[in-house]
Amino acid sequence: MARAQTVENQTSGDMETVGEQQLRELISDAIPDEAGLTPLSGFKLDLSANPGFHKAFFSARCDCGTSALLSVEVAQDKTVLQVRQALPSLVDRLQGQARTFRGMSCDLHTRMRMGPALDRGD
């Protein structure tokens, strides 16, 4: 996992605000390979009621074929250094989301994937 830089070895880039792509890369580099999370780019979803945040999207997959869209939000005014310092928490949050998804039964995954059509009971 990536380590937060100390004040002594900061680079000038650490004081710049983080961009969406850079956020995704920082988090991706900090996620352990065995976590099974895939970074996703190109999403312009704004499902949050929190304007002014960068969103980094990742997917987690189950053996049944269902995938979950996971995300982390970081305020746009955060610096690269602040994000580096928060990486353990951000990665833990993503891994917790993935554990929750993978802890669901494949039957529930199927119902999530198929939507209300399975609940009609016709």
Tens-place pLDDT, residues 22-54: 999 999 999 998 999 999 887 666 555 667 888
Domain assignment present for 3: no
pTM exceeds cut of 0.85: no
pLDDT at 11 over 60: no
Q: Residue 20 is which amino acid?
A: E
pLDDT of residue 27: 95
Predicted confidence band at 78 (pLDDT cuts at 50, 70, 90)? very high
Domain range for 89 is: 13-117
Domain assignment present for 5: no
Domain count along the chain: 1
pLDDT of residue 46: 58
pLDDT of residue 59: 93
